[in-house]
Homo-oligomer: A and B are copies of this chain.
Amino acid sequence: MTEPFVHPYIPNTAPESKAAMLAAVGAASVDEFYADVPAELRLDRPLDLPAPFTAEQDLVRHVEGLLGKNVSTRQRLSFLGAGTYHHYVPAVVDEVIGRSEFLTAYAGEPYEDHGRFQALFQYQSLMAELLAMDVVNVPTYDGYQATATALSMAGRMSGRRRILVASDVLPAKLSKVHDFVRVHLDLEFVETIDGVADVAGLVSRLGDDIAAVWVETPSHTGAVEAQLQKISDAAHAAGAVLVVGTDPIGYGVLTPPAEQGADIVCGDIQSLGLHQWFGGAHGGFIAVHDDTKFIMEMPSRLFGLATTDVPGEYGFGDVAYDRTSFAHREEGKEWVGTAAALWGIAAGVYLALMGPQGMRDLGELLLARTRYAQQQLGAIPGIALGDTAVHLREFTIDLSGAGLTAAGLVGALRAEGIEPGVAVGEHLLLVCVTEMTSQADIDRLAAAIASNTDHQTSETISTLEEQSA
């Protein structure tokens, strides 16, 4: 470069400042600071990177140009779920987590970062009301990790290795959980019946070497587990704990698992005030009762209320910090690190805005739209519902009666601007509806599928006719 490289992000690239600082430390050049880096490890050429856009207006044009190639779920009618859900995010949620104070803070102490501690304590507390449990962690990465950790906790507490998996689990989640726990735990699957747990089968497998029973509700296919109390009783009788993986979105109307005996409840908070973000905005919660045995196995930070020198004032701090890898490296429980705090704040704001009535209204709406969608799609000739369980938000339809593959239907409907769902089997399609999916949207999907089954049927017929001709 002939001109000095000065960049708005790096104030001391200003030549006068740089020279003054070099002079102050008595260095001839920046090279001196790298004396410990052996010459043979030094890169002797510039990095081979694309030419930059140092002018902000050029950067914006470039990135907006790229993102402009995306076609979002505002342009497409989407029935996609499978772990990432399209719920409405109130404007106040985005306003709060967009505040520079929250967005750019990190790891300050309870004094200068009082707001962060309180906001996350409140997140814990709001989730606790929704879940009817006394302890919720500062969010871990996502529901996958939360579940993996919850099962590991059960293993560490019991010293047992076996986990009975009672529900259908999202395959990617299962992949993560399996790789995470496999050194310490063995996952054993009890096949589901009609979408939910085979309680009898489960009971028959229980024994004193079972660390935990793992129930997912809603399951991978959106089925709500109705026999939780029975499962819990059986698990407890065998000395196992009940780990429930869930999505908290429905607990305005559904009984929280803790009231049916769950010991650890875990899952993802993406539904609570986070955008879809191409699957890039998840946070994991782990909730337990106020029981030291469980709490001391939690790896995440737990913010708690504390008194201060001023009577009546609330202070905050880390509860039982000595559990953590920050305190004890490999002797801590798993590890703790930068995870998803901002998303936790978002979920807290969301729950505060929604309140009890909002969560109730939403829960009812989701149940109603789900059932309506099941009715409309199930009524199409050749289409059958995957099972008869109660469903929240997601359900499967079986296309085999219409001679359609799920992938084929997805392809056909994409051509009409519809993402009809996720192919989860050759003929099985996982369909998701939320409060963003109106009656008209569902009707449009039903019509589009119906027209494809018609088409398929007539094609089949004409193929048959051709063959017979």
A 98-109 binary contact with B (CB < 8 Å = 1; else 0): 001000000000
Contact B57 A435 (CB under 8 A): yes
A 66-110 binary contact with B (CB < 8 Å = 1; else 0): 000000001000000000000010110001000010000000000
Q: Does A56 contact B (CB under 8 A)?
A: yes
A contact patch SS: helix
Contact B91 A57 (CB under 8 A): no
The closest CB in chain B to the CB of A435 belongs to B57
Provide the residues of chain B in CB contact with A57, threshold 8 Å: 88, 435-436
Provide the residues of chain B in CB contact with A435, threshold 8 Å: 57
Bound form: Cα–Cα A13–B133 in Å:
32
Provide the residues of chain B in CB contact with A8, threshold 8 Å: 353
Contact B56 A88 (CB under 8 A): yes
Provide the residues of chain B in CB contact with A60, threshold 8 Å: 88, 91
How many A residues are at the interface, by size bracket? 10 to 19
Provide the residues of chain B in CB contact with A64, threshold 8 Å: 74
Provide the residues of chain B in CB contact with A100, threshold 8 Å: 95
Bound form: Cα–Cα A436–B57 in Å:
8
The closest CB in chain B to the CB of A64 belongs to B74
Contact B436 A91 (CB under 8 A): no
A 30-71 binary contact with B (CB < 8 Å = 1; else 0): 000000000000000000000000001100100010000000
How many whole Å from A363's CB to the nearest CB in chain B? 15
How many whole Å from A273's CB to the nearest CB in chain B? 12
The closest CB in chain B to the CB of A57 belongs to B88
Provide the residues of chain B in CB contact with A95, threshold 8 Å: 100
Bound form: Cα–Cα A435–B55 in Å:
11
Which of A56, A95, A353, A436 lies at the interface centre, i.e. has the most chain B CB atoms within 10 A of its CB?
A56
Contact B436 A90 (CB under 8 A): no
Bound form: Cα–Cα A64–B88 in Å:
14
Provide the residues of chain B in CB contact with A436, threshold 8 Å: 57
Residues from 391 to 441 in A contacting B, C-beta threshold 8 Å: 435-436
A 331-365 binary contact with B (CB < 8 Å = 1; else 0): 00000000000000000000001000000000000
The closest CB in chain B to the CB of A59 belongs to B91
The closest CB in chain B to the CB of A95 belongs to B100
Bound form: Cα–Cα A418–B439 in Å:
40
Provide the residues of chain B in CB contact with A56, threshold 8 Å: 88, 90-91
The closest CB in chain B to the CB of A98 belongs to B98
How many whole Å from A339's CB to the nearest CB in chain B? 26
A 155-167 binary contact with B (CB < 8 Å = 1; else 0): 0000000000000
The closest CB in chain B to the CB of A436 belongs to B57
How many whole Å from A222's CB to the nearest CB in chain B? 21
Bound form: Cα–Cα A90–B88 in Å:
29
Can you give 11 contacting A-B residue pairs, CB < 8 Å? A8-B353, A56-B88, A56-B90, A56-B91, A57-B88, A57-B435, A57-B436, A60-B88, A60-B91, A64-B74, A95-B100
Residues of A within 8 A of B (CB): 8, 56-57, 60, 64, 74, 88, 90-91, 95, 100, 353, 435-436
9 A-B pairs besides A57-B436, A95-B100 with CB distance below 8 A are A8-B353, A56-B88, A56-B90, A56-B91, A57-B88, A57-B435, A60-B88, A60-B91, A64-B74
